[in-house]
C-alpha cells in the first residue's frame, strides 16, 4: 500500500478538526502506546502513519547513533562535528527551512508593505490611526520610542525595511496585530467615526438653551462651544469639535466619587448612609426618604453624604489629592485639573447646599465625627475638578470596561463599584429627565450644569459630550440631541435586540458580515427547498432578491435544483423579479432549461408574461409583502 505524504501541519489540522484524542493522556510515551493500538479507531489516517514512521525513525536513529559512536572511538577522533550550515542563515530563513510559519512581525510587515521591500513611516502611522489607535497611546510607548530612535539613527529616516520594522513593533506586536486584524470592538472604525461626525454636525445646528449663570465662571463660556470625544474598551479614540477645552465636571463627578467610595468601603457600608431609589424631585431639593437618608448619590444631598465617606479622618488636602489621583488613573493619566475660581464661587454662592448640609447634620446622616463645613468644602472642590472631553471619555470608557482603564490596562475600580455606579446612572443620572432618558436612550449617563454629559455604552465605549447651553432641566441641549440620535442610528439602547434588528447599525460587527450571512442563509434555503425558512426570512423583511458574488438569486438556485414549491413561493408570495441575470447572463428560466426542469420553465414563463415591474423598488417590495402575508403564513 502506498502511503501518502504527511506533514505535522496536516496531522494537527486533521486532529483538531475531528476533535478526537487518544484513550489515555497525551504524554511523551503516547506515541509508542499508539503503535500498540490504544488510539481511537477513528483517528485520522495521517496521524496513524506519522506515529508508525516516527516509531521506525526512532529505531533507525538509535542505530545510526551507535554506529557513529563506535566509528569515532575506533578512529580515536575527538574532533567536533562540522558546524551546521544553518548558522549562516537569517532567522527568517531558519524558520522557513524548519517548516515554521512566519512570525507575527513578518505577517504584519507583509500586510502593510503590499509587496514593497520598505514601508514609509507615514503609511504605517496612517494605517495605525485608521484602526482607532493613537500614537500617544501608552500601550504603544515602546513602539513609538523605538521608531523615533531608529529613524533618527537611520540614513533614510522616512522608510522602514523589514528588520527595522520588526525591531520597532516587536514589543507591542500583540496589540498591533489585534488592531490590523480588525479584532477590536469596533472593527470598521473609520466608518463608525464618520457616522459620529455626522451626528455631531446634526447636533451642532441645535439652538436654544441657556448657559448656567449662577456661577460667574460658568457664564463666561461661549454658547457655541461643542465637542464630542469617545474611547472604546479597546482604546480606540475619536474626537470632533472643542474637545481640548477644559471645563468643570460639576455633577458629572457624582458617579465617580460614588464609585470611589464603593470601591474602598463596599456597597453595604455606603448604602447605610444613602439610598438607591430615584427621588422624583429636583436634584437640589431639601428632602430625605422615609429612612431619613438621601434618596440616591446623584442628588445633591446624596452626593454630600457620599463625599463625607471618602478617606474619613484625614485632611481635605489629602482627600482631594487621593480623589484626583484616582480620577487620573481612570483617565489614563490624561488631563485632570482644578479651577480654583469656580471653587471659590461655589462656596460663596452655595447657600442651598449649606442648607442641605445643616439639614443632613440635624438628621444625623453623616458618619460620626464628620465636620459638616469641611465636607461641604470638599464637595465644592470635587465639583470644580476640570477635565476635557478627551480625558472624560477615557473615564467613561473605564466604567464601560468594568473598571479597567482601556489605554493603560490598569484595574482602577472593582466590578461591584462599576455595576452599582452604572445602575444608578441609568435610573437617576439625568436630573428630572432621567426617566425620559432611560426610555429613549437606554444607557447610563450623568449630566452637569457645566454642559457635560458622561455617557457609557457598557462593554463598548465611553463618550463625553460638552456644550454649555442647557435646557430647563439642566441638561446640555446639544448633548441630549446627540445621545438620542446615537441610539437611533446604532443598536446601543439597552433593550435593542442584537439578533433581529432591521434598520439600526451594529458597529460591533465587521462591515458586510450581516449581509453575507443573510445571503448565505437565503440561498442555502433555496438550494435545500426549505420553504419554511424562506417564509421566515420574508416575514422578517429580508430582501428576497439578494445576490451572491456571481449575481445569482434564490430564484436562480431554486430553478436549477428543481424546487417547484420554492419557485412558487418566491414568485407569488414574494413577488420577486423573474428576469434577474447572473454574471454569465443566465436567467432562472435558462437554469431550469439547462437542468431539464420543464415544469419550472412553464411556471416561470407564465409568470413572466404577467409580470409588471414597479418603478419604486422599495415600495414595490414592501407592498407585496403586506398583501401576501396570508400566503406566506
Q: In the predicted model, what is the mean pLDDT of residues 160-173?
A: 83
So what's the pLDDT on residue 183? 87
pLDDT digits (tens, 9 = 90+) for 481-512: 999 999 999 989 888 766 555 567 778 776 55
361 a catalytic residue: no
Q: In the predicted model, what is the mean pLDDT of residues 333-349?
A: 93
Q: In the predicted model, what is the mean pLDDT of residues 534-542?
A: 80
pTM for the model: 0.70
Q: How far apart are CA 475 and CA 492, in angstroms?
A: 21
Q: Taking Cα atoms as reference points, which of 167, 162, 168, 126 lies closest to residue 147?
A: 168
Lowest mean pLDDT among 177-186, 598-607, 621-630: 621-630
So what's the pLDDT on residue 501? 54
Q: In the predicted model, what is the mean pLDDT of residues 20-34?
A: 40
So what's the pLDDT on residue 627? 44
Q: In the predicted model, what is the mean pLDDT of residues 363-392?
A: 94
Q: How far apart are CA 520 and CA 516, in angstroms?
A: 6
**pLDDT above 90: residue 466:** yes
Q: Which of 229, 251, 308, 476 is catalytic?
A: 251
Q: Which of 449, 460, 519, 557 is catalytic?
A: 449
CA angle 395, 396, 400 (to 5 degrees): 120
**What grid cell was written down for 524?**
442555502
527 a catalytic residue: no
Lowest mean pLDDT among 17-21, 148-152, 260-264: 17-21
pLDDT band at residue 214 under the 50/70/90 scheme: confident
pLDDT digits (tens, 9 = 90+) for 422-465: 999 999 989 889 999 999 999 999 999 999 999 999 999 999 99
431 a catalytic residue: yes
Q: Taking Cα atoms as reference points, which of 303, 276, 288, 299 lies closest to residue 362?
A: 288
Q: Which of 200, 258, 431, 607 is catalytic?
A: 431
**pLDDT above 60: residue 328:** yes
Q: How far apart are CA 312 and CA 307, in angstroms?
A: 10
> Please, what are the domains in the chain?
104-181 (1.10.238.210), 197-489 (3.40.710.10), 511-610 (1.25.40.20)
So what's the pLDDT on residue 33? 38
Given a contact cutoff of 8 angstroms between Cβ atoms, the answer to whether 45 and 3 are in contact is: no
State percent of the chain over pLDDT 90: 51
Amino acid at each position: 500500500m502506498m502511503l501518502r505524504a504527511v506533514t505535522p501541519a496536516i496531522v494537527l489540522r486533521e486532529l483538531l478538526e475531528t476533535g478526537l484524542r487518544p484513550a489515555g493522556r497525551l504524554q511523551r510515551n503516547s506515541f509508542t502506546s499508539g503503535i500498540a493500538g490504544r488510539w481511537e479507531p477513528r483517528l485520522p489516517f495521517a496521524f496513524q502513519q506519522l506515529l508508525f514512521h516516527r516509531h521506525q525513525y526512532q529505531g533507525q536513529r538509535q542505530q545510526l547513533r551507535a554506529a557513529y559512536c563506535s566509528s569515532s572511538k575506533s578512529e580515536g577522533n575527538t574532533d567536533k562535528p562540522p558546524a551546521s550550515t544553518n548558522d549562516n542563515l537569517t532567522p527568517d530563513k531558519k524558520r522557513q527551512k524548519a517548516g515554521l510559519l512566519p512570525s507575527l512581525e513578518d505577517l504584519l510587515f507583509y500586510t502593510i508593505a503590499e509587496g514593497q521591500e520598505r514601508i514609509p513611516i507615514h503609511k504605517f502611522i496612517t494605517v495605525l490611526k485608521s484602526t482607532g489607535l493613537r500614537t500617544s497611546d501608552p500601550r504603544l510607548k515602546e513602539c513609538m520610542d523605538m521608531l523615533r530612535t531608529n529613524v533618527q539613527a537611520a540614513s533614510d529616516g522616512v522608510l522602514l525595511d523589514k528588520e527595522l520594522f520588526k525591531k520597532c513593533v516587536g514589543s507591542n506586536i500583540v496589540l498591533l496585530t489585534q488592531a490590523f486584524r480588525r479584532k477590536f470592538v469596533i472593527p470598521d472604525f473609520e466608518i463608525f467615526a464618520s457616522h459620529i461626525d455626522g451626528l455631531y454636525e446634526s447636533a451642532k445646528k441645535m439652538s436654544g438653551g441657556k448657559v448656567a449663570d449662577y456661577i460667574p465662571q460658568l457664564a463666561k463660556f461661549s454658547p457655541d462651544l461643542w465637542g464630542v470625544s469617545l474611547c472604546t474598551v479597546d482604546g480606540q479614540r475619536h474626537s470632533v469639535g472643542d474637545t481640548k477645552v477644559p471645563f468643570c465636571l460639576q455633577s458629572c463627578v457624582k458617579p465617580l466619587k460614588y464609585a470611589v467610595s464603593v470601591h474602598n468601603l463596599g456597597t453595604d457600608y455606603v448604602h447605610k448612609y444613602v439610598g438607591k431609589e430615584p427621588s422624583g424631585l429636583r436634584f437640589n431639593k431639601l428632602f430625605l426618604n422615609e429612612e431619613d437618608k438621601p434618596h440616591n448619590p446623584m442628588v445633591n444631598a446624596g452626593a454630600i453624604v457620599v463625599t463625607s465617606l471618602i478617606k474619613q479622618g484625614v485632611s481635605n488636602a489629602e482627600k482631594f489629592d487621593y480623589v484626583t489621583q484616582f480620577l487620573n488613573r481612570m483617565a489614563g493619566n490624561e488631563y485632570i485639573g482644578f479651577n480654583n475660581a469656580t471653587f471659590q464661587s461655589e462656596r460663596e454662592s452655595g447657600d442651598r447646599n449649606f442648607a442641605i448640609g445643616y439639614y443632613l447634620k440635624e438628621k444625623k446622616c453623616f458618619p460620626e465625627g464628620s465636620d459638616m463645613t469641611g465636607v461641604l468644602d470638599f464637595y465644592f472642590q470635587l465639583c470644580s475638578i476640570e477635565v476635557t472631553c478627551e480625558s472624560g471619555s477615557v473615564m467613561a470608557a473605564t466604567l464601560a470596561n468594568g473598571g479597567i482603564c482601556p489605554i493603560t490596562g490598569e484595574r482602577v475600580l472593582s466590578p461591584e463599584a462599576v455595576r452599582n455606579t452604572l445602575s444608578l446612572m441609568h435610573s437617576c443620572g439625568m436630573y428630572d429627565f432621567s426617566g425620559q432618558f432611560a426610555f429613549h436612550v437606554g444607557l447610563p449617563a450623568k449630566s452637569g450644569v457645566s454642559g457635560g454629559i458622561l455617557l457609557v455604552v457598557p462593554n463598548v465605549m465611553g463618550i463625553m459630550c460638552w456644550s454649555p447651553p442647557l435646557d430647563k432641566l439642566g441638561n446640555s441641549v446639544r448633548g441630549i440631541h446627540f445621545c438620542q440620535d446615537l441610539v437611533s442610528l446604532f443598536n446601543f439602547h439597552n433593550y435593542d435586540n442584537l439578533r433581529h434588528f432591521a434598520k439600526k447599525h451594529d458597529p460591533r460587527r465587521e462591515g458586510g458580515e450581516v449581509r453575507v450571512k443573510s445571503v448565505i442563509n437565503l440561498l442555502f434555503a433555496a438550494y435545500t427547498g426549505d420553504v419554511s425558512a424562506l417564509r421566515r426570512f420574508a416575514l422578517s423583511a429580508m430582501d428576497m432578491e439578494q445576490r451572491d458574488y456571481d449575481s445569482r438569486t434564490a430564484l436562480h438556485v431554486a430553478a436549477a435544483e428543481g424546487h417547484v414549491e420554492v419557485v412558487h413561493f418566491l414568485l407569488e408570495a414574494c413577488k420577486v423579479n423573474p428576469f434577474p441575470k447572473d454574471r454569465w447572463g443566465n436567467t432562472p428560466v435558462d437554469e431550469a432549461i439547462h437542468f431539464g426542469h420543464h415544469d419550472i420553465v412553464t411556471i416561470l414563463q407564465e409568470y413572466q408574461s404577467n409580470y409588471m415591474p414597479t418603478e419604486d423598488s422599495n415600495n414595490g417590495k414592501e407592498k407585496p409583502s403586506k398583501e401576501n402575508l396570508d400566503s406566506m403564513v
